Structure 1
Amino acid sequence: MEKHVVDRSADGRFFYIDFLRVAAIVMMFIFHVNMIFVAEWDWHIKNVSQSNVLMEVNYWMAFFRMPLLFFVSGFISCILLEKWSSRKFIAERFNRLILPTVIWTFVLVAPQIYFERKLQGAEYSYIEFYSTFLEFKWWPEGNFHWLHLWFIPYLFVYNLLSIPVLYVIQRVGVKFPAAMSSKSVSYLICLFVTVAVIPYIWLSVNYPVTYDLIHDYARHAQFFPFVVAGLLAYKFKVIADFLEEKRAVFLRLAFLAIVLINVVRWNGWEPRYLWDDWLSHPASYLFLILLSVNSWFWVMALLGYGKRYLNRGSSVLSYCNRAVYPFYILHQTVIVVLGYYVVQTADSDAFKYVFLLVACFIISAAIYHLYIHPFKVVRFLFGAK
């Protein structure tokens, strides 16, 4: 089994990884604008009338947008750990991840909770609200949270865990043959996904999602295997090559899985709604397995097609790759603040949606281009290069 992917530019970039990282953040932006209008799911700001179509779009994207980001982060972490010492890696990750989380939780997250409370009928001023924010009582019971920034401290912890995991991968990897057949790689991938899915399913039915990092056991079981998969895909070229070779197979499997899932959903056959004691029925676990492997199918399909068709650089991609992290930090605050005013207008729902989609993107991009990108100190505060 070969240990180094060669599909990189002269300066060491894997352009398809950069492209997928940018695409995942753009999907997250669309996802969060959609959340104002989707039926069934609650969010910070909600339009009065809601859309089942946008609900289906978000339901689909929810399977792979975060797993794809965590896979990409594992891949990039492996590149950095190959170039840097562990000490430098930890220091760099702290500066790029923890400092922005602390700073922008107090500056950009607080307004989101304020406008959410305003829409719920709260009448206090922002100063009065902020005093409750500083009570550090966890939202939604209290007013303190990191909201969409949860991803960043989770990523920091996974980056730290990548150091010992990569050490084990390097020690075990030398025992693999220099080349492996597609059949052997497929067996290893099946084994890896099986080992990843089983504990996640058990934890997901026993522990709720908390987004508090410490007690979010099911989320860790869901996301960290994608980080490990990213480490493996970088270290062993045969894995990335296999995903590229079998990209159509994974796309067919992903499409089939989402169709089966929606047949169950749209007919009211979801186990938790069919039976009061749904966890005692074997069919429930088959459905949970289908939900889990669907995420893996979509991520592997995207990686395969990305490696095949998106592995070329451009000045636009380079700019976007630098911009997406500050854009991510900014975007939800822009959506919530602007959305607060837009949902209260008498305009049509279609106009509200298109306006928010376009305006929030332009505002977030403009803030980066005009106020973050030109200034080194501001870039540092946003964890940007």
Structure 2
Amino acid sequence: MTAALCFKNIHSSKLEDCLEKELSSQSQIERHVYIDFLRVIAILLMFIYHVNMVFVAEWDWHIKNNTQSNVLMEVNYWMAFFRMPLLFFVSGFISCILLEKLSNTKFIIQRFSRLIIPTVIWIFILVAPQIYFERRLQGNDFTYLEFYKTFLQFNWWPNGNFHWLHLWFIPYLFLYNIISIPAFRFLQKFRGIAVLETESQSTLLLIALFVVIAIIPYTILSVHYPVTYDLIHDYARHSQFIFFVFAGLFSYKYKQIMLAIELNRALLFRLAFASIIAINIVRWNGLEPKNIWDNWLSHPMSWLYLALLNVNSWLWVLTILGYGKRYIKNGGKVLTYCNNAVYPFYILHQTVIVVVGYYVVQTRDDAAFKYGFLLVACFLISASIYHLYIRPFKIMRFTFGAK
């Protein structure tokens, strides 16, 4: 209801004029530059997020500095709402582009080679060192060879020493890509959700309705099913991420959706900003439902608060998309380079942060200096590894799923 009221101010003629211009422009041929740009930005935000994790207060991570920051924790709390949902939206959008060009079989083969093969390879090469240095910081003094024997016992971390850690995103993405195939083919066969193509007000109401439907499963399941990142039992997160994938799919197929988001970008930003302020007022004053009532799930206000958390994720993703769609028009060689580099960068970055961070957190330097050093050094190391050792060699590009 709130979302529907927010969209009332869009006039049908204005949206239809924009749609006509959009369909006649060349931007549709130019790989949707703003989507590529937002993909790069999302990965950079993830890099910052993981550097921050070394220093944030209250939250545990693989490598922690002795001096920690509540301010960085609040930054990460805000980013956590939209960094992964944005990536899954983009993946749904890009899946449509690929499915228009490829058969189902070729699409699956392409996705398998770019997602599953790199995951299998780099779990054993790049994930293992992260757990090793985490155990070292916890006081274990075994050699890397001794540790690696325990890694190959395949006992799931944190009780054991085997995991895919930050690479969890890749098999999840592969699963959602496969699910996208029948959804996309259905939309190809039944082209006309007519109201999305004719009535702008109805389109906006459908966007609001989609968000309402999307938040219900995760709001309910997140209470009962904690995050596992094991693909099989992560029911709550699947119920959240899959709707962002489908949102990307719908947004590609029906251009009017993105135009409505673009035209409402300022209003979406106001709502997103207001929602995170409201959430923090509740948090900072100890008013979260679980802190007030013993049987807090029996109170309607608890469910409203949980729904607000989920709406906040959607508002920030839609805001970012709206501004990206409006202002990012040109790509160029830099964006092309970054778009090719960002996936190998993602695979590399957390291992670099953990390994370098292991030595940095044990120094006596000021926390601010450590943070600045890690931010710059880990970015340069990850980017340099891509540029010097991955980009020039076909076999290395293949193992990292790069073009």
Q: When the two structures are superposed, what TM-score results if normalisation uses the length of structure 1? A: 0.97
CA contact under 8 A between 1:5 and 1:236: conserved in structure 2?
A: no
Q: Does 1:236 align with 2:254?
A: yes
CA contact under 8 A between 2:196 and 2:256: conserved in structure 1?
A: no
Aligned-partner Cα distance in 2 for 1:213–1:172: 31
Aligned-partner Cα distance in 1 for 2:281–2:28: 47
Q: Does 1:62 align with 2:62?
A: no
> What letter is aligned with 2:96?
C
Question: Which deviations, in whole Å up to 9, do the C-alpha atoms of 1:109-130 show, x marking residues without a partner?
Answer: 0000000000000111100000
What residue number does 1:268 align with?
286
What residue number does 1:283 align with?
301
CA contact under 8 A between 1:180 and 1:238: conserved in structure 2?
A: no
CA contact under 8 A between 1:5 and 1:235: conserved in structure 2?
A: no
Question: Which deviations, in whole Å up to 9, do the C-alpha atoms of 1:1-46 show, x marking residues without a partner?
Answer: 9899666548541100000000000000000000000011100000
Residues 13/104 of structure 1: CA separation in 2 closer, same or farther (3 Å cut)? same
Which of the numbers 36, 40, 46 marks the counterpart of 1:28? 46
Unaligned residue ranges in structure 2 (runs of 5+) = 1-15
What residue number does 1:202 align with?
220
What residue number does 1:159 align with?
177
What residue number does 2:165 align with?
147
What residue number does 1:83 align with?
101
Per the TM alignment, residue 186 of structure 1 is displaced from its structure 2 partner at its CA by 1.7
> What letter is aligned with 1:157?
L
Aligned length: 385
Residues 345/175 of structure 1: CA separation in 2 closer, same or farther (3 Å cut)? closer
What residue number does 1:349 align with?
367
Residues 241/7 of structure 1: CA separation in 2 closer, same or farther (3 Å cut)? farther
What residue number does 1:360 align with?
378
CA contact under 8 A between 2:196 and 2:203: conserved in structure 1?
A: no
Q: How does 1:1-385 map to 2 (within 5 A)?
A: 9=27, 12-177=30-195, 179-385=197-403
Aligned-partner Cα distance in 1 for 2:242–2:361: 37
CA contact under 8 A between 2:196 and 2:257: conserved in structure 1?
A: no
Aligned-partner Cα distance in 2 for 1:16–1:150: 25
Q: Which moved more, 1:253-262 or 1:165-174?
A: 165-174
Aligned-partner Cα distance in 1 for 2:196–2:220: 36
Question: Which deviations, in whole Å up to 9, do the C-alpha atoms of 1:229-268 show, x marking residues without a partner?
Answer: 0000000010011011111111111001000000000001
Residues 55/8 of structure 1: CA separation in 2 closer, same or farther (3 Å cut)? farther
Identity of aligned residues (%): 68
Per the TM alignment, residue 153 of structure 1 is displaced from its structure 2 partner at its CA by 0.1
Aligned-partner Cα distance in 2 for 1:339–1:354: 12
Per the TM alignment, residue 324 of structure 1 is displaced from its structure 2 partner at its CA by 0.2
Residues 6/305 of structure 1: CA separation in 2 closer, same or farther (3 Å cut)? farther
CA contact under 8 A between 2:85 and 2:313: conserved in structure 1?
A: yes
Question: Which deviations, in whole Å up to 9, do the C-alpha atoms of 1:310-354 show, x marking residues without a partner?
Answer: 121111111000000000000000000000000000000000000
Q: When the two structures are superposed, what TM-score results if normalisation uses the length of structure 2? A: 0.93
Aligned-partner Cα distance in 2 for 1:12–1:220: 31
Q: Which moved more, 1:176-185 or 1:191-200?
A: 176-185
Q: Which moved more, 1:241-250 or 1:3-12?
A: 3-12
CA contact under 8 A between 2:37 and 2:335: conserved in structure 1?
A: yes
Aligned-partner Cα distance in 2 for 1:123–1:219: 36
RMSD across aligned positions (CA) = 1.6
> What letter is aligned with 2:86?
L
